[in-house]
Amino acid sequence: MIDPKFIREDITLIKKVLEDRNMRSVVDLEDLGKINEERRKLIASRDELREKRNRFSKEIGARKGKGEDAADLMKEVQGLGDEIKNAETRLEEINAKFDEMALSLPNLLDASVPVGKSEEDNVVVRTWGEKPGFDFTPKPHYDLGVDLDILDFERGVKIAGTRFYVYKGLAAKLERAIINFMLDLHTTEHGYREIFGPYIVNDDSMIGTGQFPKFKDEYYRIERDGLSLIPTAEVTLTNLYRDEILEKEDLPLYVTMQSACFRREAGSAGRDTRGLIRVHQFQKVELVKFVEPETSFDELEKLVASAEEVLKRLKLHYRVSLLCSADTSASSAKTYDIEVWMPGLDRYVEISSCSNFIDYQARRAKIRYRPEKGGKPAFLHTLNGSGLAAGRTLAAVMENYQTAEGRIEIPDVLKPYIKL
């Protein structure tokens, strides 16, 4: 969540954020303003009552010391106690309502984020490599995979439903090789520590990273147990340090995890209905950082570079785009998307999204650090990005490394990881 002082002191800033993000209907700012004003008045009233009770209590002590009657003041103090209790009960209710609304608010946007209305307003900041040339018409990965009998969409649908699939033979080996290559790269060269954690998490974890409460319907739930399947290992990794205080010397802290990811893909009807681009279950290598606030935007650039390095070593052409305000996720203050070229689909496809959440997730998950030994704990900054989405990387390798004979060549960097 954003710093409550911005809500209480500068509601016009929140209004602008909602407008820039095209999220005006997320929270009724008029109601939020009324709740904030009632909260302010209740605090003032409660504090005034407390001051009055303290003053009377001292007077009672003085009278008793002089042997004088203090029954009238004692009755007043009792009445004040009841008033204070009622005010505090109402304040708890108001604070709960305020927190509920605040949790639904998106993050502030960094000043460098361009204001825009859709993905059409995203800004390409750089490209790498060249689009491959073919002396034949390249196939999309889903046709190539079916022809080679390594992708089986019919059996995926039979087993689980639409947007599920089965890997066979080379596809299964290739994705495993891709994942192991990415983990080795990030842990040996980029400073990440590998983690393996739960794929199923509680509601506090989903609140901590910003999926709940606003976007609860977009994820797979196990209602009986009050648990959810993770949409990304970001949830698991970020919540490693929920409700904890780290030391300054612990930072920056980098962690990575390979996991299955589960998404309902609500609202994506009709989009990428074929292939591996938009599915309900996929594997991904996630990168998460815990850093000091003053370094977080430099750390974002390093995060993007780490994700880019995977594509460079696979020799896959890509571009990096800075997302506009309306396309930036609700929890993020600034996001870069890395899009790989897919010659069979004849378009770029997002393969990684790298974001700086500043203190938004840290406040929700109560992750703090001590800037100095013995100093007052402060909220740190969190970042995350895909390093990369394994299924989409597999699809990109298939399309870019296909031959005229309908086979798939193995990228040099993956050969040590795969036995045919």
Give residue-wise pLDDT tens across range 284-315.
999 999 999 999 999 999 999 999 999 999 99
Distance CA 145, CA 343 (A): 15
Is the pLDDT confidence value at 63 over 80? yes
The reply to whether 198 and 327 lie within a common domain is yes
How far is residue 306's CA from residue 308's CA, in Å, rounded to a whole number? 5
Q: Do 249 and 353 share a structural domain?
A: yes
Q: What is the pLDDT of residues 304-362, one digit of tens each?
A: 999 999 999 999 999 999 999 999 999 999 999 999 999 999 999 999 999 999 999 99
- Could you tell me if residue 305 is inside a domain? yes
Pair 96, 123 in one domain: no
137 and 94 in a common domain: no
Asked which of 30-44, 189-203, 374-388 is least confident by mean pLDDT, the reply is: 30-44
d(CA 105, CA 29): 10
Let me know: does 199 contact 229? Beta carbons within 8 Å. yes
Structure confidence at residue 366 as a pLDDT band (50, 70, 90) = very high
Residues β-bridged to residue 227: 202, 222
The answer to whether 305 and 325 have CB atoms below 8 angstroms apart is no
Same domain, 87 and 148: no
**Looking at the structure, do residues 154 and 217 belong to the same domain, yes or no?**
yes
Q: Is the pLDDT of residue 268 over 70?
A: no
Residue 360 has what pLDDT? 97
* Number of Cβ atoms within 10 Å of the Cβ of 171: 24
- Mean pLDDT score of the chain: 93
Q: Are 235 and 215 in contact (CB under 8 A)?
A: no
- The reported pLDDT for the residue numbered 266 is 60
Among the candidates 103, 127, 157, a domain finishes at: 103
Q: Which pairing describes strands 347-356 and 334-342: parallel, antiparallel, or unpaired? A: antiparallel
In this prediction, residues 245-250 reach a mean pLDDT of 95
SS3 content of the chain, % helix, strand, coil (to 5): 45, 20, 35
| The pLDDT value given to residue 267 | 54
pLDDT > 70? residue 394? yes
In a domain, 109, yes or no: no
> Is 110 within the bounds of a domain?
no
Q: Which domain holds residue 10?
A: 4-103
* CATH number of the domain enclosing 304: 3.30.930.10
CATH number at residue 22: 1.10.287.40
Q: pTM of the full predicted structure?
A: 0.90
Out of 59, 75, 103, a domain closes at: 103
What's the sign of the alpha-carbon dihedral 360, 363, 366, 370? positive
Chain segment 18-46, per-residue pLDDT in tens? 999 999 888 888 888 888 888 889 999 99
Same domain, 169 and 31: no
Domain membership of residue 44 (yes or no) is yes
Q: What is the mean pLDDT of residues 179-200?
A: 98
Same domain, 145 and 89: no
Buried b (16+ CB within 10 A) or exposed e, 378-389: ebbbbbbbbbbb
Q: Given pLDDT bands bounded at 50, 70 and 90, which one contains residue 270? A: low
Whether 108 is covered by a domain: the verdict is no
- Give Cα separations from 151 to 154, 212, 268, 399, 416 (angstroms): 9, 34, 22, 13, 23
Cβ within 8 Å of residue 317, ≥6 positions away = 127, 128, 129, 130, 131, 132, 340, 341, 400
Looking at residues 124-140, what average pLDDT do you find? 97
Residue 114: inside a domain, yes or no? no
The verdict on residue 241 lying in a domain is yes
Predicted pLDDT of residue 69: 85
Predicted local confidence at residue 328, as pLDDT: 97
pLDDT of 215-228, one tens digit each?
788 899 999 999 99
Check whether residue 133 and residue 97 sit in a common domain: no
What total number of domains does the chain contain? 2
Please report the pLDDT score of residue 57 as a whole number.
86
In a domain, 113, yes or no: no
Residues 147 and 17 in one domain: no
Same domain, yes or no: 153 and 285: yes
Q: Are 257 and 124 within one domain?
A: yes
Continuous segment of H or E residues that includes residue 5: helix 4-9
Tell me: pLDDT of 375 over 90.
Answer: no
Question: Which residue, 69, 103, 137, sits at the end of a domain?
Answer: 103
> For position 400, what pLDDT does the model report?
98
Three-state SS for 42-82 is: HHHHHHHHHHHHHHHHHHHHHHHHCCCCCHHHHHHHHHHHH
